[in-house]
Amino acid sequence: MLVCVRRNVTGGEAQGLAERRGIAVNVVRSVTAQAVPDSLLLSVVMRDFPRNLTLETGWMSGRSCSNGSEESWLGCSLVSRSLVVTFMLLLACAVVAGNFITVAVFLSTKESRTPQGYLKVSLALADLAVGLLVLPFSAYTEIALLGSPSRPPWQPGYSATGGGALWQPCSLVGVVFAGCTFVSISTIFLLSVERGVAILRPLHKEVVITRRRTWLLILLSWFSSFLLATAPLLSSGHFSLEYSECSRMCNYALVAGAPPQPGGSILLLFPAFDFTILGGTVIVNALSFRTIHRYSERRKFLAELGNLPASLRPSSSDIKAAKTIGILTLIFTASFSPVAAFVLGNVMGYRWCSFSFFAFWVLASNSCCNVIIYSVRDQRFRKGLHQLFHKTPH
């Protein structure tokens, strides 16, 4: 456990605190432009805290910038913060453009109006919401911090002079980000099931996978995902959504005055849900690939004996679709794993400032990957993309 106190104290107060708490104390004199006398930094470290994590140094530590926000490895300089804002804006533009094109292609081509196409549109809409709301809000907040020495009204630590509580945009932005993340992984699972039925039970595909059932599953996916995203807020009054100066996004945080970890394990629902769905997706994909391999070997053997035509091999579109979903699953797992590690560490009491920025923005970057994967793997998507940009006037 680590406790950090930043305030003006005297050496006697520090030693007295050490004697009362029975813990090791390191008093370091702060160096400022005015060399404020007796301005001390009191760093209180429990004896059992791991040695590889320190308070004032290390890649997970944080210090205060001039505007009151916490400094990480990104730094507080104008250049570093400007680069962060530029990255946010470029990523937002890439996510919006890529997923808008994806939705336009699937809705403009009749060949894509299938259960698989509807699921891909649902996945693109979830990513599009992240690009339209979540990423621009983070960029706007960072721009506000660049242009003003004080905190914006929606950031923790802002002191309102007019009285009254301000509505926090993070109450919407944070729920959208969490909900759309759950929609993405549940949609990838539904895509794998759809391809699995087509490969394992091809004769029953048209009966089992219908448009009506697909739409119902999509609606259920969105409803359950956003219900799960609001679970920490609905289950107790100990959590709120605040803009994190570490991750530069809206994250769940304990409200002021709440006990140290009141039911904090509820946040573990998020990684538990995602890895459960991802595990099911991996199992379905494994069964599909096993069946494809078995059919390929069997039909290859029959073709050699009876000179059967090569057209009896498994459908190349089904094989490519299954492989594409497998790639989506691997990429999403890789992008979500850092967030899962951060949430687990946060529940255990660790505060990994710089790592949180890496974790959440890697996950956000996943929102622009789908259009790239479709362009490389899906011939039907490439054909629709060509038709979209090369329409002949009537």
CATH number reported for the structural domain that contains residue 103 in this entry: 1.20.1070.10
> Strands, DSSP E only, in 228-354?
239-243, 250-254
Examine residue 21 and state whether it is found in any structural domain, yes or no. Answer: yes
Are 51 and 101 members of one domain?
A: no
| Token digits of residue 117 | 């196409």
Tell whether the model's pLDDT for residue 337 goes beyond 60: yes
Examine residue 394 and state whether it is found in any structural domain, yes or no. Answer: no
Examine residue 64 and state whether it is found in any structural domain, yes or no. Answer: no
Are 195 and 261 members of one domain?
A: yes
Q: Would you place residue 70 in the very low, low, confident or very high pLDDT band (cuts 50, 70, 90)? A: low
Are 206 and 320 members of one domain?
A: yes
Tell whether the model's pLDDT for residue 181 goes beyond 60: yes
CA distance 268 to 260: 16
Are 256 and 138 members of one domain?
A: yes
Examine residue 373 and state whether it is found in any structural domain, yes or no. Answer: yes
Examine residue 227 and state whether it is found in any structural domain, yes or no. Answer: yes
Are 272 and 318 members of one domain?
A: yes
Domain membership of residue 305 as a residue range: 82-389
Are 160 and 37 members of one domain?
A: no
Q: From 41, 57, 73, give the residue that closes a domain.
A: 57
How large a percentage of the chain has pLDDT more than 90? 24
Q: What mean pLDDT do residues 131-146 have?
A: 91
Tell whether the model's pLDDT for residue 372 goes beyond 80: yes
Please indicate whether residue 293 or residue 244 has the higher confidence score (pLDDT): 244
Are 280 and 149 members of one domain?
A: yes
- 270-274, 378-382, 385-389, range with greatest mean pLDDT: 270-274
Helix (H) or strand (E) run with residue 30 in it: none
CA distance 265 to 349: 11
DSSP string of 151-220, one letter each residue: --TTSTT---SS-SPPPPTHHHHHHHHHHHHHHHHHHHHHHHHHHHHHHH-GGGHHHHS-HHHHHHHHHH
Please indicate whether residue 171 or residue 203 has the higher confidence score (pLDDT): 171
Q: Would you place residue 223 in the very low, low, confident or very high pLDDT band (cuts 50, 70, 90)? A: very high
Are 280 and 316 members of one domain?
A: yes
**Residues with Cβ < 8 Å from 50, sequence gap 6 or more?**
none
Examine residue 11 and state whether it is found in any structural domain, yes or no. Answer: yes
Are 27 and 121 members of one domain?
A: no
Examine residue 65 and state whether it is found in any structural domain, yes or no. Answer: no
Examine residue 74 and state whether it is found in any structural domain, yes or no. Answer: no
Are 33 and 158 members of one domain?
A: no
Q: What mean pLDDT do residues 214-225 have?
A: 96
Are 245 and 368 members of one domain?
A: yes
Are 166 and 279 members of one domain?
A: yes
Radius of gyration for the chain, computed over Cα atoms and rounded to the nearest angstrom: 26
Tell whether the model's pLDDT for residue 341 goes beyond 90: no
CA distance 158 to 69: 11
- Based on the structure, what is the number of domains in the chain? 2
